[in-house]
Structure 1
Amino acid sequence: MPKGTLQEQVAGQDNNGRGLPWRQRLRVALESAQGLEYLHKGCSPPIIHRDVKTANILLNERLEAKITDFGLSKAFNNDDTHVSTNTFVGTPGYVDPEYQRTMQPSTKSDVYSFGVVLLELVTGKPAILRNPEPITIINWARQRLARGDIEGVVDARMQGDHDINAIWKTTETALKCTEQAPVQRPSMMDVMMQLQECLDLEEGCTGGDNGFYTVSGIVGMNPDMGYNATTNQSVDVSQNN
């Protein structure tokens, strides 16, 4: 993809080292949430990605987000809430602790990982911070927010170019996604709604851009897995559909 991964963009490998502007980060978050919601509710059978992270979100020339890398994905029946697996997979810093304990990933496992992605977008920091000692971005953010230090959490490279209410709401959504108990986490549909409200706050109007947003594409799904997709093609679904 022309603009590489979201991980690279947040790290500042483009835009003169500043990373993405906050409004663009929100758009990428919304498009990625739409892509995951499509996997969970729009696919038949539904799909759990199992490795949601900024390195698996690609950006095209227009900085539209596309979720990719389905090598660890699992399909499950519509009547099930989770699937059982024999092998634990995932990337450190993004893995749902409940899945790690039970070996039963669910759609809420993807929600947990997506919460980490949201925190990366807010803070500009990786999923696991190494200095002065290793700490997850979740605990790092919670410690500062417990003191009411929201500006101490926000990526300083954005240089104040953000609506603080949108930052608070996005961060709150991220922390809800990363609750220890899956039942306390929102669905991806709920996350989409929250992020849409954040984008509306940022744009200072209801509905922003006439309420039309592109749903994230799905890139590189393996046709051998039986899904209705073709390798190296993307799927775009709009709200108007």
Structure 2
Amino acid sequence: MREVFNQELDTIADRLVEMSRLVTEQISRATRALETNDLELAEQVISADARIDAGQADLDRLSVQVLALQAPVAQDLRVVVSALKMSVAIERMGDLARHIAAQVRIRYPQSAVPEPFREVFSRMGEAAVRIGTAQIQLLDNPGLAAVPMIATIDEQLDALHLQVFTIIGELSSGDLTPSQIADATLVSRYFERFGDQAVNVSHKVEYLLTGSWEPDLSAP
């Protein structure tokens, strides 16, 4: 019975890693679509979000089944409950990649990225891919080393998010239309929230490894 239970826990862990790989791929593709104004690629990102949603549903069903049939306690219970919470955060990361792609679709054939923001959004996209990659490493081979790395990248995303507002404030009246300001603000927020959700996941893993609980201060 214990062997079956361990296999189920391994399956849950593998599903979290797979979801993380998917959302990292999607944020990379969404960034490329944003930079190149590629409508076809944006549509692919939007369509692929259903696969991430299905992955969350499958993982949650398995986790609930384990809770019902195995009645885990102590550390095992924390693993399953944390997996349920992490799946929510990772699915949200997929939603944020989809939101970025949706901005490309909304503004096409015009670009969703006004010229003054191209560099900062390129850097935000690179940082989002790096934080997603760090999350994959954290879940695939749990250890505390990746936790501060994720926090550092998230701080970089926060700084870039603030830089967007600095650019808006420095531009002269009339340089940007209201819709361009809205686009820049939304896209920046989506990237920044992507990082926040990765931090949420890292806090759950840190809790499992150390028993130290970090409050979730960035929930939507």
The structure where strand makes up a greater share of residues is 1
Measured against the shorter chain, the TM-score band is: 0.3 to 0.5
Q: Which has the higher contact order (CA 8 A, sep 6+)?
A: 2
Normalised TM-score (structure 2) = 0.34
Normalised TM-score (structure 1) = 0.32
Looking at CA atoms only, which structure, 1 or 2, has the larger radius of gyration?
2
